[in-house]
Structure 1
Amino acid sequence: MKLHHLEVARSGSFSSIGAYLARARPDEPVMFYAADVLRAKVFQFQKTFAEGLSYAIKANNHPDVLGHVLDCGVCSFDVASPAEIRQVRRKAPGAVLHYNNPVRSLAEIETALRAGVSSFSVDRPSELEKLFALVPPGAATISLRFKHENPSSAYGFGAKFGATIADAERLLQSATRRGYRTGLNFHVGTQCNDPKAWADHLGIAAAVARNTGTVPAEINVGGGFPSWRTTEEPRLGDILRIIGAEFRAHFDPGRVRLLCEPGRALIADAVTLATRIKARSPADTLYLNDGIYGRLNEFPLVGLAGRTEILTPAGERRQGTAGLFRVFGPTCDSVDKLPEPVALPEDCREGDYLLFHGMGAYSNASATDFNGYGGHDWVAVDRLLPPAGSGPSEIDAV
Structure 2
Amino acid sequence: EGLALFSAATAATDPALVTAKINYSALRSLEVPAKLSLLAGRVTRQSASTAAVSASSSLARQLSGLPEEERLNAVVALVKEKVAGVLGYGSADAVEADRAFHDLGFDSLAAVELRNVLGTVTGLRLPATLVFDYPTSAALAGYLYDQVSGTAGREERYEASPVSTDEPIAIVGMGCRYPGGVSSPEELWQLVIDGADAIGRFPADRGWDLAQIYDPTGERPDTSYTREGGFLADAADFDPGFFGISPREAMIMDPQQRLLLETSWEALERAGIDPTTLKGSPTGVFAGVMYHDYMGSASTGAIVSGRVAYTLGLEGPALTVDTACSSSLVAIHLAAQALRRGECTLALAGGVTVMATPETLIEFSRQGALSRDGRCKAFAASADGTGWSEGVGVLV
Give yes or no for TM over 0.5.
no
Higher helix share: 2
User: Whose Rg is larger?
Assistant: 2
Q: TM-score, normalised by structure 1?
A: 0.22
Q: TM-score, normalised by structure 2?
A: 0.22
Higher strand share: 1
Which protein, 1 or 2, shows the higher relative CO under an 8 Å CA cutoff with sep ≥ 6?
1
